[in-house]
């Protein structure tokens, strides 16, 4: 697949995401809001009027963007797909492959960090802030390339305590105590 | 009317917690401005949850001082390592970095900090004078006028997105669509909640904004940044006398500050453009224009005074009319709403003390920025060396705990993460994010006033065209749309012709 076609397809998939949101809005207006008798009548009491209007406008913009992507330069704006410094004489496909290979490790790091936040949110109510946060920080620091164990552990514990004191001690936020029921402030 | 808010607000401002919040905000703002890739918007978003737990003036003081100081901090990085800490400082490179190369680093930083503070104060004076007048004019506005006005605010979406109008309109409209999720007070139903309890009252604005901007920024930096980069910079200690040397350029200072404030008051312009405009005008007005770009203080004075004065200018329509001109002022407006106050003429009429407190906080932030900036420059220069592999986890913790602290809700953390991924996907395909937040903040206001107007008129749309002010604003909006539809090349040709005609004259 040529790099241009790949870029066009990628940008079209982004547009499809917008369209999908509009479809969900319409579907909810025609089912859920209609069932509650809130999707008819004048705009002032019609809960579906504004969302439908906005979704219609968004779909029109999506169509315009698709035209730009397939019949214009709307797909060229992503610097990842076609970097500015790309040599005009170099084969486009080679350059894109090289870029993808070079970034693979960084992409993996980014995915890992997002995954770690998701795991943290899942376990937070059970482990509690003072157990889950240092574990998250240790994992993130190691993922981002910190290798000195002393620095990693000291930073993780130090940050956890400082942030815990600011929110728990100064702002009186009830941080999740977890199964150990740790509430130091 | 002009002085009343100041008198009423002084009591709220002159309080230990408010002063401490401003000092802390100034320090954080400068720090976040210094660190490349971050900026005042990120600072405001990160500390928004903290402001939510404070008294209104202290909370707004914290956020406004981050806005003020964050607009200046980027100059230090621009001067020392030729990387603007924020896009606002890009123009400061032109003369700041050559000054450093000539061994005048401390003079360049001292001038940048002093010019920023003085420019900010001039912008503040214009804000204090103009905002109440503007609010006074808008005092008799009813829902139709507010609806027309919020439409103007929404049109800034297209202006903010400059190079990508269609994409900007798409993200802006997405923001408007997302703002419809939750309880609908007019129909007394919950919209698009999908049976999820956390969505019944709508999506938490702070969780959404933190996700869209901060989490997506973290992902983006991990994916693209060199996480262990450590620039080689030496310690610099500027002196307070730089204020006096900056004052010697008073003509340039005042002119650039007025340009910055004026452009800041126009939606979508921002500090970056005003700094470049002020630089170009200072150069053309100079007796030695050939020296610009070689490392002269005049260049730094023009850019830094203009970009900080822009903050004052941006606050004029935000506070007086409830129209945010950029993402930072949209988040500030959102913060004010979360604290229980709606920006606009009503704020000036019913809560003069809050308005006055914000004015005082803005002025104090500029004064504090001068002292903190000069005294702690060695610390800020050292921070340039901070590796991102240590900085990003800190930002992550602040995001997570900040969002959790709002309602002690784990659901909000999921919202933050999901919108972080959405924000990253939008960045990946070059969709501008500021319009999204403008849409989110203005959406409920626009829809509310639209439907309230129709209730008043009994469902007749002519209410928007039978009231002179509403009609005028709507006509102006239509003209704005037409202006945006004119091809850029044609506009540039007209401007060039006008410019040459003016110089001939």
pLDDT at position A90 is 37
The pLDDT, as a whole number, for residue B270 is: 67
Compute the nearest-CA separation of A48 from chain B (Å): 8
DSSP SS3 for B189: strand
pLDDT at B139 over 60: yes
**Tokens found for residue B39:** 């900026």
Give the model's pLDDT for residue B242. 87
* Closest residue in chain A to residue B430, using alpha carbons only: A78
Q: Please answer yes or no on whether B398 and A68 come within 8 Å at the CB atom.
A: no
Instruction: State which residue of chain A sits closest to B168, comparing Cα positions.
Output: A61
Instruction: Tally C-beta pairs within 8 A across A and B.
Output: 165
Distance to chain A for B342, nearest Cα, Å: 22
Query: pLDDT of B315-348, one tens digit each?
Result: 999 999 888 878 889 899 999 998 999 898 889 9
Q: Write out chain A residues lying below 8 Å of B389, CB-based.
A: 141, 144-146
* Cross-chain residue pair B222–A173, CB shorter than 8 Å: no
H/E element, B184: strand B182-184
Q: Choose the mutation target among A31, A46, A114, A150 for the interface with B, i.e. most B CBs under 10 Å.
A: A114
User: Residue A124: its chain B contacts at CB < 8 A?
Assistant: 404, 410, 413
Q: Name residues whose C-beta falls within 8 Å of residue A21's C-beta, 6 or more positions apart in sequence.
A: A55, A58, B174, B177
Contact B73, B117 (CB under 8 A): no
Inter-chain contact A77–B189, Cβ cutoff 8 Å?
Answer: no
**Residue A83 confidence (pLDDT):** 36
Mean per-residue pLDDT for B161-175? Answer: 83
Count of beta carbons in the 10 Å neighbourhood of residue A85: 6
| Domain boundaries along the sequence of chain B | 4-466
Query: Is B186–A106 a contact, with Cβ atoms under 8 angstroms apart?
Result: no
Residue among B17, B161, B405, B440 with most chain A CBs within 10 A, to mutate: B405
Report the residue of B24, B47, B55, B187 to disrupt the A interface, i.e. the one with the largest count of A CBs within 10 Å. Answer: B187
Its ipTM equals: 0.86
pLDDT band at B155 (very low <50, low <70, confident <90, very high): confident
Q: pLDDT tens for residues B363-390?
A: 999 999 999 999 999 998 888 888 888 9
* Cross-chain CB nearest to B222 (options A18, A64, A113): A113
pTM confidence score: 0.84
Test B459 with A43 for CB contact under 8 angstroms. Answer: yes
Measured between CA atoms, the residue of chain A closest to residue B427 is A78
Find the CB nearest B223 among A110, A146, A160: A110
Q: What is the pLDDT of residue B63?
A: 96
Mean pLDDT, chain B, whole residue set: 88
B505 falls in which pLDDT band (50, 70, 90)?
low
Residue B482: pLDDT band with limits 50, 70, 90: confident
Residue of B nearest to A147 (CA): B389
Closest chain A residue by Cα to residue B411: A121
pLDDT-derived band at B234, boundaries 50, 70, 90: confident
Task: From A87, A157, A57, A115, select the one nearest B439 (Cα to Cα).
Answer: A57
Task: Nearest by CB to B176, from A17, A54, A137: name it.
Answer: A54
- Name chain A contacts of B421, Cβ cutoff 8 Å: 114
A40 φψ region: left (φ > 0), alpha (ψ -120 to 50), beta (else) = beta
CB neighbours of A64 closer than 8 A, spacing ≥ 6? B166
- The per-residue pLDDT for B162 is 59
**Per-residue tens of pLDDT for chain A, all 185 residues:** 678 888 899 999 999 999 999 999 999 999 999 999 888 888 889 999 999 999 999 999 999 999 989 988 777 754 433 333 333 333 333 333 434 445 778 888 999 999 999 999 999 999 999 999 999 999 999 999 888 999 999 999 999 999 999 888 888 888 999 888 888 77
Cβ atoms B139, B395 nearer than 8 A:
no
Determine, for residues A57 and B223 on separate chains, whether the beta-carbon distance falls below 8 Å: no
Cβ distance of B223 and A117 shorter than 8 Å? no
What mean pLDDT do residues B161-187 have?
87
Separation CA B43–CA B206 (nearest Å): 13
Give per-residue pLDDT as tens, B12-59: 999 999 999 999 999 999 998 888 777 888 899 989 988 988 999 999
Query: Mind listing the pLDDT tens digit for each residue in B82-105?
Result: 877 777 788 898 899 999 988 899
Looking at residue B269, its pLDDT comes to 67
pLDDT of residue B159: 67
Question: What DSSP element (H or E) covers B116?
Answer: helix B105-137
Residues of chain B above pLDDT 90, percent: 46
Cβ separation A61–B173 shorter than 8 A: yes
Instruction: Please say whether the dihedral angle defined by the alpha carbons of residues B112, B118, B122 and B124, taken in this order, is positive or negative.
Output: positive
Contact by Cβ (8 Å): B167, B161:
yes
* Nearest in space to A64 (alpha carbons), one of A12, A104, A103, A21: A12
Most confident of B149-153, B193-197, B415-419: B415-419
Q: Identify all chain B residues contacting A32, using CB atoms and an 8 Å cutoff.
A: 192
Of B380, B316, B365, the closest CA to residue B65 belongs to B365
């Amino acid at each position: 697949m040529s790099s241009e076609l790949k870029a066009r397809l990628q940008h079209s998939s982004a547009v499809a995401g917008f369209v999908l949101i509009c479809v969900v809005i319409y579907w909810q207006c025609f089912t859920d809001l209609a069932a509650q008798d809130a999707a008819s009548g004048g705009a002032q009491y019609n809960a579906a009027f504004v969302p439908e209007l906005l979704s219609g406008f968004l779909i029109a913009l999506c169509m315009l963007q698709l035209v730009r992507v397939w019949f214009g330069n709307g797909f060229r704006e992503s610097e990842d797909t076609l970097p500015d410094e790309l040599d005009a004489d170099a084969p486009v496909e080679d350059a894109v492959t090289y870029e993808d290979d070079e970034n693979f490790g960084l992409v993996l790091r980014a995915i890992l960090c997002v995954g770690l936040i998701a795991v943290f949110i899942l376990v937070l109510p059970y482990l509690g802030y003072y157990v889950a946060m240092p574990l998250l920080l240790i994992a993130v620091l190691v993922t981002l390339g910190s290798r000195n164990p002393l620095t990693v552990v000291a930073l993780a514990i130090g940050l956890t305590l400082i942030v815990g004191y600011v929110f728990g001690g100064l702002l009186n936020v009830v941080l999740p105590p977890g199964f150990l029921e740790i509430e130091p402030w | 009317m002009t002085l009343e808010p100041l008198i009423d607000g002084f009591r709220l401002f002159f309080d230990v917690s408010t002063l401490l919040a401003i000092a802390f905000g100034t320090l954080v703002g400068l720090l976040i401005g210094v660190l490349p890739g971050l900026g005042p918007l990120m600072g405001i978003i990160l500390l928004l949850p903290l402001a939510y737990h404070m008294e209104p003036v202290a909370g707004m003081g914290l956020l406004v001082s981050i806005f003020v100081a964050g607009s200046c901090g980027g100059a230090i990085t621009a001067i020392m390592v030729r990387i603007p800490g924020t896009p606002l400082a890009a123009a400061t490179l032109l003369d700041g970095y050559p000054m450093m190369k000539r061994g005048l680093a401390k003079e360049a930083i001292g001038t940048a900090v002093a010019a920023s503070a003085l420019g900010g104060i001039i912008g503040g004076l214009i804000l204090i004078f103009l905002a109440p007048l503007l609010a006074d004019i808008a005092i008799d506005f009813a829902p139709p006028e507010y609806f027309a006005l919020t439409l103007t605010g929404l049109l800034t979406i297209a202006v903010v997105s400059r190079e990508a109008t269609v994409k900007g309109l798409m993200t802006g409209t997405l923001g408007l669509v997302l703002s419809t999720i939750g309880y609908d007070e007019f129909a007394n139903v919950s919209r698009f909640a999908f049976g999820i309890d956390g969505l019944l009252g709508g999506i938490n604005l702070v969780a959404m904004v933190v996700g869209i901007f901060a989490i997506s920024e973290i992902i983006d930096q991990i994916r693209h940044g060199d996480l262990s980069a450590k620039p080689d910079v030496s310690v610099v200690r500027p002196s307070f006398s730089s204020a006096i040397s900056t004052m010697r350029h008073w003509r340039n200072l005042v002119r650039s500050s007025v340009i910055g404030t004026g452009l800041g008051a126009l939606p979508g312009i921002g500090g970056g453009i005003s700094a470049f405009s002020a630089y170009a005008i200072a150069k053309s007005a100079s007796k030695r224009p050939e020296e610009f770009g070689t490392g002269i203080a005049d260049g730094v004075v023009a850019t830094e005074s203009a970009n900080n004065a822009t903050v004052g200018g941006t606050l004029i329509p935000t506070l007086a009319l409830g129209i945010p001109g950029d993402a930072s002022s949209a988040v500030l407006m959102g913060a004010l709403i979360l604290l229980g106050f709606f920006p606009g003429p009503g704020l000036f009429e019913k809560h003069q003390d809050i308005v006055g407190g914000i004015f005082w906080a803005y002025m104090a932030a500029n004064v504090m920025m001068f002292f903190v900036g000069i005294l702690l420059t060695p610390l800020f220069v050292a921070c340039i060396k901070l590796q991102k592999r240590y900085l990003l986890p800190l930002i992550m913790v602040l995001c997570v705990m900040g969002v959790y602290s709002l309602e002690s809700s784990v659901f909000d953390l999921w919202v933050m993460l999901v919108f972080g991924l959405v924000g990253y996907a939008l960045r990946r395909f070059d969709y501008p994010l500021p319009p999204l937040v403008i849409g989110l903040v203005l959406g409920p206001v626009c829809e509310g006033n639209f439907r309230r107007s129709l209730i008043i008129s009994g469902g007749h749309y002519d209410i928007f065209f039978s009231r002179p002010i509403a009609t005028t604003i709507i006509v102006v909006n239509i003209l704005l749309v037409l202006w945006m539809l004119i091809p850029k090349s044609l506009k540039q040709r007209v401007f060039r012709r006008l410019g040459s005609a003016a110089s001939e004259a």
